[in-house]
Amino acid sequence: MTAIVLAACWAALAGSLPPPAGAGSPSRAAAPPDDPLFRHQWNLRAIGIPAAWAISRGAGVTVAVLDTGVAYRTRGRYRQAPDLAGTRFAPGWDFVDGDPYPDDVARADGRRTHGTLIAGIIAQTTNNGLGAAGVAPEATIMPVRVLEPDLMGTARALARGLRFATDHGADVINLSISGTADTRVVSRAVAYAAAKGAIVVAAAGNAGRPAVGWPAADPRVIAVGAVARDRSLAFYSNHGDRLDIVAPAGAGELGDGGRGPADGVLAQTLEDGQADFCFCFSASTSAAAAHVSGVAALLVGSGRATTRGEVRRALLAGARDLGAHGRDPRFGAGLVHALGALNAAGRARGPAARAPSSESRSRRWPAAALAGLVLASLLAWRIARRRRARSGPGAA
């Protein structure tokens, strides 16, 4: 079976790092959460998250995370990640071990796990006085395990995960996964998800190539690249004509004693065993894709964009243009922006665009009729005045 290679990510312990320089202050449109590590989350401010929370926090939206599993529960040797204790979860599935328990499994080499971190970026518990904030903190996470702890998986497992998530009500499906070639089984699963209305978001890949990896390159998928804090394209990010949008992830260049990039994005994940967690920085297109999935959840939760096409259009229309003017191969439509996307969707579905209900139409009829009568009277008066002018002095 064809192997799917997940884009590698770097991580660093957050506790020993100073606050990021130039992080700025949270938006005035919404009070900042009390999560103590929010001050490190330059990425959330860069995409307008604090202001977007005044409109939507993703409530009622299910985001499927197809990955190495998620530390979503405490059972037996498994422990729930502390900063996921207040996060909502939907039943998922483990397509690696073939059971209904998609737990994130600690790596034998002691390296940090991946799926819990991705779930945390999307919806880790926010405003709980612990850790960091998520992009869509009221969204529901559906953990679907399709990868081994070493970040390897099969096309068959990925395809089955896509179909499971679609059939079990996922509104958004996050694929922080990238391979070098398309496969028929995955392509068919993506087509199935798209036909059912699921919004599929995928990482462009971390090879630094001018070609988007698969399945992100599929036209039915929203392909996400990564940018650094200065909004330059991250050196590792794949790009190209099939790139749709970019999101914050960091350049991965500011290491801390070999433990990872201090300029990355922050979330909690497993390390050194099933009960050991760290708040780690990561820099990858995997992390970037998670941001876009979170913003998609905000859009759906707001009610302003509820279909796959509406969400895609709002994401692209609300993005902040980077690089060459307009869409380009390095940045796609630009940097995802939560508030911009919500505003773009609001304009598209504003009051003038919505058909009024039968009740509101009946209530508005007298006013509309009166306005029509006034307009008709005014028009008749102007016509009569013109006729009188034509028949005045000097006419033969």
* Cα(156)–Cα(144) distance, integer angstroms: 14
Tell me the C-alpha distance between 178 and 4, whole Å.
Answer: 7
- pLDDT score for 376: 40
CATH number, domain containing residue 303: 3.40.50.200
Distance CA 214, CA 159 (A): 13
63 neighbors 172 (Cβ within 8 angstroms)? yes
Among candidate residues 35, 67, 103, 263, the one labeled active-site is 67
Percent over 70 (pLDDT), the chain: 79
- Catalytic annotation present for 239: no
d(C-alpha 350, C-alpha 338), whole Å? 18
Identify the CA nearest to 231 among candidates 296, 317, 320. 320
Residue type, 323: G
Under the banding of pLDDT at 50, 70 and 90, the label for residue 350 is low
For residue 370, pLDDT beyond 70: no
Contact 144, 66 (CB under 8 A): yes
What number is the average pLDDT over the span 66-78?
Answer: 96
Q: What are phi and psi of 5, to 5 degrees?
A: -95, 120
Question: What kind and span of H or E run contains 88?
Answer: strand 88-89
Full-model pTM: 0.82
Name the DSSP letter for residue 291: H
- Shared domain for 249 and 388, answered yes or no, is no
**Nearest partner of 241 among 336, 328, 334, 317, judged by Cα:** 328
Catalytic pick among 40, 114, 239, 291: 114
Give the 3-state secondary structure of residue 234: coil
Examine the pLDDT at 100 and tell me if it is beyond 90. yes
* Domain identity same for 241 and 389: no
Reading the block at residue 332, the tokens are 């796609």
Asked if residue 146 and residue 233 are part of one domain, the reply reads yes
- What is the domain extent for residue 82? 3-351
Q: What does the radius of gyration of the chain's CA atoms come to, in whole angstroms?
A: 25
Are 338 and 314 in contact, with CB atoms under 8 Å apart? no
47 with 179, same domain?
yes
Taking the alpha carbons of 159, 124, 62, 301 in that order, is the dihedral positive or negative? negative
Cα 396 from Cα 390, distance rounded (Å): 11
- In which band, very low, low, confident or very high, does the pLDDT at 272 lie, cut at 50, 70 and 90? confident
> Which residues does 30 contact at the CB level (< 8 Å), separation at least 6?
50, 51, 52, 53, 54
**Mean pLDDT of the region 263-272:** 90
Residue 341, SS3 per DSSP: helix
State the total domains in the chain. Answer: 2
- Together in a domain, 159 and 222: yes
pLDDT, mean of residues 332-348: 95
* Mean of the per-residue pLDDT values of the chain: 83
Same domain as 231, residue 93: yes
Same-domain pairing of 244 and 369: no
Amino acid at 175: L
Residues 340, 388 within the same domain:
no
Per-residue pLDDT, 280: 87
Q: Residues 174, 250, 126, CA angle at the centre, nearest 5°?
A: 60
Element (H, E) at 173: strand 172-175
Last residue of a domain, one of 351, 372, 387: 351
Look at residue 349 in the predicted model and tell me its pLDDT: 72
Catalytic residue chosen out of the listed positions 56, 176, 178, 286: 286
Specify whether 27 is catalytic: no
- Between residues 9 and 45, the one the model is more confident about: 45
Q: How far apart are CA 178 and CA 7, in angstroms?
A: 6
Looking at residue 111, its pLDDT comes to 87
Q: Could you tell me if 395 and 328 lie in one domain?
A: no
Please indicate, yes or no, whether residues 170 and 238 belong to a single structural domain of this protein. yes
Q: How far apart are the first and last CA of the chain?
A: 96
pLDDT classification of 271: cutoffs 50, 70, 90: confident
pLDDT in the model for residue 223: 98
Residues 24 and 148 in one domain: yes
- Element (H or E) spanning 376, and its range? helix 358-390
pLDDT at 321 (0 to 100): 97
Torsion sign (Cα): 274, 278, 279, 282: negative
Which carries the bigger pLDDT value, residue 330 or residue 385? 330
- pLDDT band at 368; cut points 50, 70, 90: very low
Alpha carbons 62 and 89: distance in angstroms, whole number: 8
Q: What is the pLDDT of residue 260?
A: 54
CA–CA gap between residue 47 and residue 54 (Å, rounded): 14
25 is an active site residue: no
Residue 362 and residue 246 share a domain: no
Q: Is there a contact between 146 and 67 (Cβ–Cβ < 8 Å)?
A: yes
> Helix H segments across 114-183?
115-123, 155-167
Provide the pLDDT confidence category of residue 24 given band limits of 50, 70 and 90. very low
The model's pLDDT over 232-259, given as tens digits with 9 standing for 90+, comes to: 999 999 999 999 999 999 987 755 544 4
Confidence of residue 69 (pLDDT cuts 50, 70, 90): very high
Quick one: average pLDDT of 121-128? 97
The C-alpha atoms of residue 216 and residue 176 are separated, in whole angstroms, by 9
131: left (phi over 0), alpha (psi -120 to 50) or beta: left
